[in-house]
Structure 1
Amino acid sequence: MAFWWSLLVLALAFAIGKFLLWLIPPKVPSIDVDASDVLDDGNQAQENSFIYVPPRGAAQQSGTKVQCYEPATMKYLGYVPALTADEVREQVEKVRKAQKMWAKTSFKQRRQFLRILLKYIIKHQALICEISSRDTGKTMVDASLGEIMTTCEKIHWLLSEGEKWLKPEYRSSGRSMLHKSARVEFHPLGVIGAIVSWNYPFHNIFNPMLAALFSGNGIVIKISENASWSGCFYFRIIQSALAAIGAPEDLVEVITGFGETGEALVSSADKVIFVGSPGVGKMGPPLAGRYDMGALCMHEHSEKLEGLVHDAIDKGAEIVARGSFGPIGGDAVDQYYPPTVIVNVNHSMRLMQEEAFGPIMPIMKFSSDEEVVKLANDSRYGLGCAVFSGNQSHAREIASQIHCGFAAVNDFAATYMCQSLPFGGVKHSGFGRFGGAEGLRACCLVKAVVEDRWWPYIKTVIPKPIQYPVAENAFEFQESLVEALYGLSIWDRLKALVSVLKVLTEQNSTNSSKLK
């Protein structure tokens, strides 16, 4: 009895010790990132004081510079270089050399890198959101939700579960290979290329970077020409965190430019992650500051949105509500579009067939479950859906019939905050997945490995009847062996096993006779 009491006391002491260790926060160094230049409000330098008018159409996609400006005010922010194809390939090779060293690091080191980033993000939320707001026109609250919370959730998931999903995974070896051990290993691919959109510049940079580095890769990220100013600052955060753990400084590169830059990255990287839209100009989420409604990140997009609405009205639709965005400067008026609710729409209208990416809510009526599912699936897009109903099982049933990559039942976009889940769509909304275990493993060379379970005592031996030159009864042996392994009933398998043993016995007898 005394033994069991002693064992119980030891177990209790161990549990208390583990709990106390859990209460002690890990030692995470702080990093300093120079933000003096990005904190300029646009009035401190003469070159930043003028109103910027971006070139129209294809003219913007040329030259050696990417011009940056605030969508909400049209104030000039500066420029970044548009890299040539040769310059992109040079960056990729630098990352490739650094990745070979990084691939040898432990998960413990990689987790420390994540903790350093997390510590900085939490401490500098306002700075990160303000920079995103100035570059895209979103509100501070939108930036907090879409930039900060999503990224912190991603880091938390990787810290908690990332290593588990990258460790070798053992699989069943099947009946014919019972003496073998089968597993799947996940090795770094090398250099990941990421071409990301402008709408959440902080998260769209960090999301692929976190997965790539935690799985042992390097990464080159081509940021959008519509959000290059903020992206270059966010790159400094990554560089500082890498330096804090002594990682190779060239492990991550952020590149800027236009189509040529992205094409060169696609042809140079070992895998490419693309976040964007198929040939559609996009509009930014709401603006920072005092307005609830935001600026368009891309010039001329208000004309596209107005065209979609006019097309719908010409075909019988009706605007039932339209908002406003308060006082704005005359130079930035084309950068805004009022929130619009429109009814009596149908699928003959461009609004219901094209990705508006703007503050327009079209509403359609339906009379049955079959009709609403048909309407929802009548689209070339299939990223995600949200189904609302007072009956949760009913909503779940409808959601299961909609052809898309993710579904939220009685909620909207909640799936993305669950970073354990994969993210991606079907049809024109893309292929492949990032996020979750699926996205993490997509950054890996997935290698199947088989080895002897009880080596060297039991190894694979080719049965004599099928050794070359094969015996006359070789097919009879093979036929019986298949049924012995996979027959539907135990009696069929036992009967076939007897036949297998019979053939082996006959073969041994024949070989013995030949030796005599």
Structure 2
Amino acid sequence: MPLDSLSSTELLTDLWIGGKAVPASDGGRFDVLDPSTGEVLATVADGSVEDALAAVDAADGAAAAWAATAPRERAEILRRAWELMTEQADDLAKLVTLENGKALADAKGEVAYAAEFFRWYSEEAVRAAGQVMTAPSGANKIMVLHQPVGIAVLVTPWNFPAAMATRKIGPALAAGCTVVLKPASDTPLTALAMAKILDRAGVPAGVVNVLPARRSGAVVSAMLHDPRVRKLSFTGSTEVGRVLLKEAADQVINCSMELGGNAPFLVFADADLDAAVEGAMVAKMRNGGEACTAANRFYVERPVAEEFGRRLAEKMKALRMGPGLDDGVQLGPLVNTDAVEKVDELVRGAVDAGAEAVVGGRRPSDEKYSAGFYYEPTVLLDVQPGSKILEEEIFGPVAPVVTFDEEDEAIRLANATEYGLVSYVYTGDLARGLRVSEGLDSGMVGLNRGLVSDPAAPFGGTKQSGIGREGGHDGMLDYLESKYIAVQW
């Protein structure tokens, strides 16, 4: 499908700085590929350090007026952005599929989810409530105001190109901050489409700037060392997050980090197995497994382990794989060839260590998949403790299954990781479910549910899965500073 067939969405392929599309200062451009074919989809302006600082200039020029804009006015603009996204949902979903590869049904779900952040934060914009109280001594009043933190640099990944943009832009704008969005270079077209939607919704020039760039390290570093930048919000790998935290330390920048995950999926013998398998398919296969919330390790109590593995394998085997825009496709390609190679390496390592691939376990041999970045849906049984596949994010359609015997053992295995983003628990005993949920060291738990993401809920992790929360009221607080005023009257 050519990009020009997306009739309701105005496509940009240049940088978006100061309310207008501009080429890169040095004329640089890079290719965006269609993961289903490996062919060039579009060429996009490649932002430079000079462009990054120009974007900060634009954000700085708009900052004072946007911070002074009435909360209701900011709310109405965000509400209009939600309406525009909803009107253009079909074309936006096709655009996501074209540059990301995910199945169209997944892309439609992402666009609906992404739009909800604009609606939610249109409602939160008027609720940045402060506080007034009498000091315990009685000598004065304690007044607390919430003010915008300042210019925010937003760095987003390729796996949810619409939702990761709106999840950051929504609360930032609601709080009164101006932003520079640096989208992943694999999927810049969706982010640029968001810029145009926000422009049509009435966002003033300079409030939202979008800077595609292949030279990510240099352009983000330049912005983090500009003293006018006061906020960094990053979603991506823990490895890159560590680097950015070190960079941000030079100017003591306020940081929100949504980093890697290694989600355990616990199934106890008293669980409803039909529900557990359905939940596993959602938790594992949403976005083809390319999600930080994806179930990465399946721990199943021994009496039901064989049956659970069999049912899960049947479901995985039945998935229809192919280009994301084709009718009925449930599993599209991975985002690029590096992703395929990483998944294949993890699977081969597990099999070499004694695991059995009862479904999949390889790149497809059919010639019709040879041009794209595909990997077969895979279930691995008898995965050995210590296997690399249990320690790293798979980011692909692979489900490794491990058995356990005791509740304490399941919790110990689940927590034996440096990550702590999300965990999943299936059990028919509510008391056990809540007890295990409390014992799991993760920021979120899906209890008898394979999906946890919700714009109204605080999303984030513990340990090396991140700092701060996105979504819910907490998400806007990450873009606000508390100012305390001691006053007498």
Residue 435 of structure 1 aligns with which residue? 471
Q: 1:108 to 1:411 in 2, by over 3 A?
A: same
Kindly indicate whether residue 216 of structure 2 is the aligned counterpart of residue 265 of structure 1: no
SS of corresponding position for 1:210: helix
**Alpha-carbon distance in 2 for matches of 1:194, 1:182:** 33
Kindly indicate whether residue 102 of structure 2 is the aligned counterpart of residue 118 of structure 1: no
Kindly indicate whether residue 192 of structure 2 is the aligned counterpart of residue 232 of structure 1: yes
Residue 332 of structure 1 aligns with which residue? 371
CA contact (8 A) 2:89 2:111 kept: no
Kindly indicate whether residue 459 of structure 2 is the aligned counterpart of residue 423 of structure 1: yes
Give the TM-score of the pair, scaled to structure 2. 0.74
CA contact (8 A) 1:137 1:284 kept: no
Q: Deviations over 1:468-488 (max 9, x none)?
A: xxxxxxxxxxxxxxxxxxxxx
Map 1:458-469 → 2, pairs under 5 A: none
CA contact (8 A) 2:114 2:164 kept: no
- Deviation, 1:288, is 3.3
CA contact (8 A) 2:122 2:174 kept: no
SS of corresponding position for 2:483: strand
**Alpha-carbon distance in 2 for matches of 1:314, 1:328:** 26
**Alpha-carbon distance in 2 for matches of 1:196, 1:97:** 23
Which one of the candidate residues 146, 154, 157 is aligned to 2:120?
Answer: 157
Q: 1:172 to 1:409 in 2, by over 3 A?
A: farther
SS of corresponding position for 1:411: coil
**Alpha-carbon distance in 1 for matches of 2:75, 2:52:** 29
Counterpart AA for 1:124? Q
CA contact (8 A) 2:289 2:398 kept: no
Counterpart AA for 1:427? K
SS of corresponding position for 1:320: strand
Deviates more, 1:381-390 or 1:152-161: 152-161
- Paired-residue identity, %: 25
Q: 1:328 to 1:143 in 2, by over 3 A?
A: farther
Residue 46 of structure 2 aligns with which residue? 82
- Deviation, 1:40, is 6.7
SS of corresponding position for 1:270: strand
Residue 173 of structure 1 aligns with which residue? 135
Counterpart AA for 2:83? K
Kindly indicate whether residue 5 of structure 2 is the aligned counterpart of residue 39 of structure 1: yes
Counterpart AA for 1:250? G
Q: Deviations over 1:405-436 (max 9, x none)?
A: 1112110222x21x332211122212222222
Aligned residue pairs, count = 387
Counterpart AA for 2:155? I
SS of corresponding position for 1:337: coil
Q: 1:173 to 1:370 in 2, by over 3 A?
A: same
**Alpha-carbon distance in 2 for matches of 1:299, 1:265:** 30
Kindly indicate whether residue 123 of structure 2 is the aligned counterpart of residue 140 of structure 1: no
Kindly indicate whether residue 129 of structure 2 is the aligned counterpart of residue 92 of structure 1: no
Which one of the candidate residues 402, 407, 413 is aligned to 1:369?
Answer: 407
**Alpha-carbon distance in 2 for matches of 1:342, 1:331:** 24
Residue 33 of structure 1 aligns with which residue? none
CA contact (8 A) 2:357 2:378 kept: yes
- Deviation, 1:140, is 1.6
Structure 1 unpaired stretches of 5+:
1-35, 42-62, 456-516
**Alpha-carbon distance in 1 for matches of 2:196, 2:366:** 35
Q: Deviations over 1:33-86 (max 9, x none)?
A: xxx954379xxxxxxxxxxxxxxxxxxxxx933211110122212211222212
SS of corresponding position for 1:413: coil
Counterpart AA for 2:93? C
Task: Select the structure that is richer in helix.
Answer: 1
- Deviation, 1:261, is 2.1
Higher relative contact order (CA 8 A, sep 6+): 2
Runs of 4+ in 1 over 6 A off after TM superposition: 280-283, 323-328
**Alpha-carbon distance in 2 for matches of 1:409, 1:354:** 23
Residue 182 of structure 1 aligns with which residue? 142
Give the TM-score of the pair, scaled to structure 1. 0.70
Alpha-carbon RMSD across the aligned residues, in angstroms, is 2.5
Counterpart AA for 2:114? T
Q: 1:251 to 1:162 in 2, by over 3 A?
A: closer
**Alpha-carbon distance in 2 for matches of 1:151, 1:332:** 30
**Bigger-Rg structure (1/2):** 1
Task: Select the structure that is richer in strand.
Answer: 2
Which one of the candidate residues 161, 168, 171 is aligned to 1:211?
Answer: 171
Kindly indicate whether residue 462 of structure 2 is the aligned counterpart of residue 411 of structure 1: no
SS of corresponding position for 2:38: coil
Counterpart AA for 1:163? V
